[in-house]
Amino acid sequence: MQTISDTIKVEKVKTSKIDKVDFNNLAFGKVLADHMMVCDYKNGAWETPKIVPYQPITLDPSAKIFHYGQSVFEGMKAYKDADNKVWLFRPLENQKRINISCKRLAIPEIPEDYFMEGLKALLKVDHKWIPTAEGSSLYIRPFVFASGNGFHASPADEYKFIIACAPSGSYFAGKVKVLIEEKYSRSANGGVGFAKAGGNYAGQFYPTQLAVEKGYNQVIWTDDNTHEYIEEAGAMNIFIRINDTLLTSPTSDRILDGITRKSLIEIAKDENIKVEVRPITVKEVIEASKNGSLKEMFGAGTAAVISPISTFGHKDQDYDLPELENSYASILKKRITDIQYNKAEDKFGWRYQVSI
């Protein structure tokens, strides 16, 4: 019986640009690999994925992505271990989540085998692009957008699903200084905050620019109604350690169900770290900072894995976090990256090998 993987056509580049890349000095997401996977939705169905050379896309000016913003994406990584075996981390969670995002934006959902077999076919062609330097990986960006034409305010009739890859080093260097947002909101109840929609991130840029002008690196997002509850850290989920308890906000209409987030929760429990998933108030974080019980704050996401926070600001006052040995952030980051790079046992069954 023929499967989708048997029908994927591969068109390779005539000349690879890989020899021009300095794999020891990779910025995040700047250098793109040789190929991309492309899959079109036309006449009510997804067509067979294909692997083609990485190249520009031609779209009609009336393509609905430009006018009504139907666009969602995912973030994943491929890793190489010491034996040059290739691994993914919980890829079916990304496949499920892109469809949750698609559904919310009225984009046709992508069949699991189209997503997975298309991705594996791409990695087989571009596996040499997976870097091996410490902390580096091949960042994978699956995305879907409305390619159908027309100015009518309605869902498109055609869509394009693409997976592109970028060999990348670490996302952030060092600890970050963040500002707790008091005016702007990332998302609202009943909105699309839980989806990885492009517009969510576009709306973050301006408030983040304002924070950068004040000397901060990122914004801590608060709830849209009262701005009294901590929700996310920039484009990441947030964890806060008060005494020896690790806190994180529950997912909702407003908060992305981060794959790194839920993995860290499981790892923390396995490390016998007390974890509470509950609403966190700005007030309790400030009080904990003042009385010395606030030990750590860090963002968590695919790109950065864990990004420790050194300082947070609120109402024109900065609060510094202590420097800790054996921080929860360092313990959890080592555990999760050791699983991702096949350096340690994966008791959770998260690692996914790609045969090259």
Which tens digits make up the pLDDT trace of 306-350?
Answer: 999 999 999 999 999 999 999 999 999 999 999 999 999 999 999
Q: What is the mean pLDDT of the chain?
A: 96
Strands 245-248 and 274-277: what pairing?
parallel
Residue of 37, 87, 8, 76 lying closest to 355 (CA atoms): 87
Note the pLDDT of residue 294: 98
Tell me 19's DSSP state: G
Which positions ≥6 away from 103 have C-beta within 8 Å?
109
What percent of the chain has a predicted confidence (pLDDT) above 70?
A: 99
Name all domains of the chain by residue range, CATH numbers in brackets. Answer: 4-168 (3.30.470.10), 176-340 (3.20.10.10)
* Residues facing residue 103 across a β-bridge: none
- E strand residue ranges, 147-217: 159-168, 176-180
Reported as a pLDDT band with limits 50, 70 and 90, residue 3 is confident
Q: What is the DSSP string of 120-144?
A: HHHHHHHGGGS--STT-EEEEEEEE
Stated pTM of the model: 0.96
Which tens digits make up the pLDDT trace of 185-197?
Answer: 999 999 999 999 9
Using a 10 angstrom Cβ sphere, with 0-12 exposed, 13-18 middle and 19 or more buried, the burial of residue 210 is: middle
**Nearest-5° Cα angle at 170, 340 to 129:** 70
Which tens digits make up the pLDDT trace of 270-314?
Answer: 999 999 999 999 999 999 999 999 999 999 999 989 999 999 999
240 φ, ψ (degrees, to nearest 5):
-135, 130
Reported as a pLDDT band with limits 50, 70 and 90, residue 173 is low
* Residue 175 reports pLDDT greater than 90: no
- E strand residue ranges, the chain: 9-10, 35-42, 45-46, 50-53, 71-73, 76-80, 86-89, 137-146, 159-168, 176-180, 218-222, 229-233, 236-242, 245-248, 274-277, 280-281, 294-301, 305-314, 317-320, 351-354
